[in-house]
Structure formats: C-alpha cells, structure tokens
Amino acid sequence: LGYVLLPPFLQRQSWVYRQMRAAGLKPGALSPQVLLTHLARVYGNIFSFFIGHHQVVVLSDFHTVREALVQQAEVFSDRPRLPLVSLITKEKGIVFAHYGPVWRQQRKFSHATLRHFGLGKLSLEPKIIEEFNYVKEEMQEHGGAPFNPFPIVNNAISNIICSLCLGQRFDYTNSEFKKMLHFMSRGLEISLNSQVLLVNICSWLYYLPFGPFKELRQIEKDITTFLKKIIKDHRESLDGEHPQDFIDMYLLHMEEEKKNNSKSSFNEDYLFYILGDLFIAGTDTTTNSLLWCLLYMALHPDVQEKVHEEIQRVIGRDRAPSLTDKVQMPYTEATIMEVQRLTVVVPLSIPHMTSEETVLQGYAIPKGTVVVPNLWAIHRDPAIWEKPEDFCPSRFLDDQGQLIKKEIFIPFGIGKRVCMGEQLAKMELFLMFVSLMQSFTFSLPEDSKQPILTGRFGLTLAPHPFNIIASKR
C-alpha cells in the first residue's frame, strides 16, 4: 500500500507520528507541504516514501533542488506517468506532458506566440488595466460591506488569459463563463480528493458511475465541450493574414506544419490540451497570489500604509500604473515577493520524474522515481531566511531601500520546467496589486476569525475563504 495509503490508525502508530506528537504537532491536521517540511527536519533534505508502489523522493533545500532541476535537468525534467494524470491530460499539453522533442516544440511555439501577443511587453498593459476597471466597479458596489473577493479576482485573471488565447473577454455575469471557472476550480479540488487518488492504484476506479469519480468525468466533459466549441468557431472565422489570438496562430502553424511534415505533433487535439493548461494554470495560480496579497495587506496595515505612500509618491491617485513604474517602487515589489515567499502558490511544484537512473548527493535514485521539490520548505528555511515565519518585506531590500534579487527565491520553480507564464504572472500581480492599492484600503471585518495562513492545499495553495472590506481611498 505504501506509507501514504496506510489506514490512519496504522499511520498513527508510526515512529514519525510519535516524534511529531512529542514536538506538540498534530500530523493529521497539517497540510501536505507542512508535513513534508517537518519530515525533512527528521530525515534530512532528501528522503523518500511510497504512495502505493510509486516511490516518491522529496527535495527540501535550495541546493539540492538546483542540483537536480538545473545541473541534472535532462534527467529530472520528465513528468510521472500516474494513471489519473494520464486519463485527464492524455499526456499532452505543456504542464503534464512528458519531457522530450514534442514537448520542446510545443512549449517553444506557445511561449513565442504568447510573447507575440504581449507576454512581458508593455503592449499587454492596457488589457490588464482595462480588466482592473471592471474589478474596481465590482468592488465599489459593495460599499463598505464585507464581501468575498474570490469571484471578482478569479474572473479578472481568467479574462486576461482569455484575451491572449481567445481574443475576447467575458462579462462577469456570463453564465457559461462562470460555470467554466467553477468547473476548473472544482476539478482541481476533486483531483486531490483521497478517493480519486486511488485511481493511481486501480485505474478502473476512474469510470465508477457515482461520487467524485462521476463528477470529475462530467467536469472533464463540460470543459472539453466549451473549449472545442471555441476552437471550432476560430477555425471557421480564421483570417490567415490577421491572426487575432493564440488559437489563430496555432491553427495557422498547424496548417503550415502539415504541408512539410505529415507526422507533425501540431494538431487540434494538442491545441485543446495546451488551452486547458493555459486556462487552469494561468487562472488559478495568479488568482490565489492576488488573494493572498489582499489578505496579508488586511493583516498588516502598517505594510499597507507604506505601499500606499509609495504609490502616492510615484504614481499619484489618477494615473493608471505602468510596468515602467516598477523600478521606482521597490517596497511595493518587495511586498509582493514577501507574500509569494510565505504562500508559495504551487508549494510542492508539479511533480517531476527521473528519466534514467542517477545519483543525487550520494543517493542512488532509480529511473521512474517521482521527485517532489518542496518549494514551501525552501522559502521557509531558517538557514536561509531570518525569522522565516514573519511577514517582513524589507528582507528583499538593501540598506538604500533598493530591491535585492535573491537566487533562492523561486516561487515559479527553476530548470527546464520553470513556469511558462512567469512573466505574465509578474505583470498581472504588479499591475493589479498596485491598481487595487491605489484605489482601496483593505481590512478584515471586526468579527472575523484569525485566518489560517498555511492555506488550502490543492494543485495550488489557496487561502481559506475570507471576506474583506474595501474602503475607497
């Protein structure tokens, strides 16, 4: 069965649990990234356990992760062949596809095309600022009353991906759009349900006609229908001279490839899985990062006040922020980085897999081993960060108040599988965060409980649901 699938009463008898209880911890109540961080303190920065018959090796410090993912990148860049992942993604797309020539072609094309439509460039700014205006309107409607910021932020971030990939944005009241966002969020949640994870042991469980298995298959079907209809519409209205978005560029490239290579990996099926990756990865991660930023500002009014002062000094109240302001706003950027450090949105990265047998820091690691880089542990390592549990933006500033770039700060991962949307996420976070801070002061309702800052673990780390008050500045 492996350690992770042992019944709880047997896990509780283990030496690990006894050690952790002796230290005053409740292992069963800990999020996976926190539990693995505590296990690293017992077993060292490289340790392993089994999930069923799959051996998992956890890397918990920066130097080990860098040695594996950068210095031995060719060996550590594959993805695990887990039945659940294979059934949902068909091992296509960018995020979960296997490392090799096809993945390299698809990623290179996708990255170049996103850059063509503004990734990392000032030309994308107006779309992000335009989307913020809708966010502002929505938040102002609540007056001084508490509200849940998740749907508003989620809609906005998803619409920026929509403008890049689909050439359009959706109104926040669009029922089909709202359903898709819910399906994507719910699908990620179900995929990490302990019952659904059993599909990795017995793949036929995926087809059970009840419970989370049935719900996951229905979500997959609905998302497929939504995206395939959009691809069909693009194919019918395609203008070869004036491609409008990612889908148009992909379809044109696909036709070009077919002329020269009948076995090309570029086809509508692969496009569908890339779109799924861009939507889910591009929406969920940045949404949660921005929600964490709002929560930490509400919890630390002194930091929020310093951010307000810097925005007032550099931008003022009326002008929209620009990426060119970044260089003059080190404290604001340090604040975003400190939130990312404490809340690493993909805390255990996306699992890697060794493509051949190798040796890492004296340990023999067999071919086909699942490798989990614990980014949460790296960003809270007391050997690297002074008082790692404290929220302290000034740790990213030097004596002159200028930003310090730290090699050990890797919220987007490192190596060949580093997040393709890193530049987009940084643009969105800076422009959206500054726009929100320019317009509002955020606080928690007086009767609210102290939030749990270890978050809700899914594929990404989301804050527990919270209400917030946005007071107009």
Q: What percent of the chain has pLDDT over 90?
A: 62
Query: What pLDDT sits at residue 176?
Result: 86
pTM of the model: 0.92
Tell me which range, 27-36, 169-178, 197-206, 228-237, is most confidently predicted by mean pLDDT: 228-237
CB-CB neighbours of 253 under 10 Å: 17
Q: How many CA atoms lie within 13 A of 387 on its CB side?
A: 7
Name the helix (H) or strand (E) containing 358.
Answer: strand 358-360
Collapsing DSSP to helix, strand or coil, 468 comes out as strand
Name the helix (H) or strand (E) containing 211.
Answer: helix 211-236
Going along the chain from its start, the domains and CATH numbers come out as: 1-82+346-379 (3.30.43.20), 92-341+414-472 (1.10.630.10)
Q: What share of the chain is helix, strand, coil (3-state, %, to 5)?
A: 55, 10, 35
What's the mean pLDDT in 219-229? 91
Query: What pLDDT sits at residue 182?
Result: 86
Confidence of residue 163 (pLDDT cuts 50, 70, 90): confident
Collapsing DSSP to helix, strand or coil, 353 comes out as strand
Task: Return the sign of the alpha-carbon dihedral for residues 393, 396, 399, 401.
Answer: negative
Which residues, at least 6 apart from 13, have a Cβ–Cβ distance to it below 8 Å? none
State yes or no: pLDDT of 23 exceeds 70: no
Does residue 245 or residue 393 have the better pLDDT?
Answer: 393
**What are the pLDDT digits (tens) for 309-334?**
999 999 998 899 999 999 999 999 99
Mean pLDDT computed over every residue of the chain: 89
Confidence of residue 390 (pLDDT cuts 50, 70, 90): very high
* Phi then psi dihedrals of residue 456, to 5 deg: -100, 120
| CA 284 – CA 215 distance, rounded (Å) | 20
